[in-house]
Copies of this chain bind each other. A is one copy, B any other.
Amino acid sequence: MSTDRPRQKRATIIDVAREAGVSRGTVSRVINGERYVSAESQSAIEAAIAKVGYLPNTAARNLVMQRTLAVAFVVHEPASLFAEDPNIGAIMLGANATLSDADYQMVLLIVDSERDTQRVSRYLSGGFVDGVIIVSARAYDPITRVVEKIGLPAAFVGHPPDLPQIPFVGIDNRSSARSITERLIATGRSRIGMIAAALDRDSGADRLAGFRDALGDRFDENLVESVPLYEFSAGVSAMQELLKREPDIDGVFAASDAVAAGAMNALRAAGRSIPRDVGIVGFDDSTWALRTKPTLSTVHQPAQGLGEAAAASILGQLRGEPPQLGGILLETPVVWRGSA
């Protein structure tokens, strides 16, 4: 006989039933607010619940109900993410808001290592969630494969490279980049360069393609400098490089606001006035855009809307509606401010 701390066993539906002098079926009905319970039973059970301190075990309920009212939100590569990418937070919040309205619990899972990948895969197939939202999926991701295998309703934010026909939400990076570049051209700049970033992701590659589209014959690859990540510091160094190579540059499209902010620092350090000497535009319309001086002209990325749309897609699938396989592209208005 052990004398370890008895660790207070949690009250179950049976304890409530015993206390109230009814069967567990009746208790279950009260808990789930069903009809056909006498007033006496009702109050006896409510009293018993309070007395024994009963709290329902949702996990057990889920097992029999075969649904969890929970949706996972999987985030990859977060190390720099939250610091440098203000979008991801907004996407999360958007998804959470929509799921919350439908009374679904969003559970966020972070994938930061090989081990995490394994564990998260197990979690997704383990019966804890009814669906999953995945942001920044990589090509041939084990998580994606598990999701496919078990047919878990899924929605991707951004288009995973290797999957042609899956539900996703995103923006048209290419045409957005083209639009803002055209706007920049319209301001009369003649030597327009670009700081491209993250060319290994389709967002990065597409933004460069859009830039190229807009410039047409006037495209000059000497005016393009590319950096690996959407980072402030990368913007600084790339702009320095560009200035050295092409001192007469008078317009810049930076692949993200953070990059643009860095570039603006470098421009100012080089004695160039913005927008007089050089006009600059960014991409994202994140908090960066309002912190620069002058404020940044940029492409508005509807981050919260992406989260909401992804959540709505999941919710629709759970209602049995066929997902929109082609994907959903959200509008990205150009926001014109002081930097160009």
Chain A interface (Cβ < 8 Å from any Cβ of B) = 7-8, 10, 53, 55-60, 62-63, 68, 70, 78-79, 81-84, 86, 88-90, 92-93, 96-97, 100-101, 103, 105-110, 112-113, 115-116, 119-120, 122-123, 125-128, 146, 149-151, 232, 265, 286-287, 291, 293
Are A89 and B93 touching (Cβ within 8 A)? Answer: no
Interface of A is mostly: helix
**Alpha-carbon gap, A170 to B110, bound state (A):** 23
B93 near A127 with CB under 8 A, answer no
- Judge whether A100 and B127 touch: CB under 8 Å: no
CB of B127 within 8 A of CB of A110, answer: no
Query: Which of B79, B90, B96 is within 8 Å of A93, CB to CB?
Result: B79
Distance in angstroms from A234 CB to nearest chain B CB is: 13
Task: State whether B128 touches A58 (Cβ < 8 A).
Answer: yes
A127/B58 in contact, CB under 8 A: yes
Given known contacts A89-B78, A126-B58, is B100 in contact with A105 (CB within 8 Å)? no
Contacts of A63 in B (CB 8 A): 59-60, 63
Q: Of B62, B68, B107, B116, which is within 8 A of A96 by CB?
A: B116
Interface pair B287/A127, CB less than 8 Å apart: no
Chain B residue with Cβ nearest A232 = B291
Partner of A107, one of B7, B88, B108, B127: B108
How far does the alpha carbon of A103 sit from the alpha carbon of B120 in the complex, in Å?
A: 11
Q: Which of B89, B122, B123, B151 contacts A83 (CB under 8 A)? A: B89
CA distance A203 to B79 in the complex (A): 25
**For A57, A82, A86, A291, which residue has the most chain B Cβ atoms within 10 angstroms?**
A82
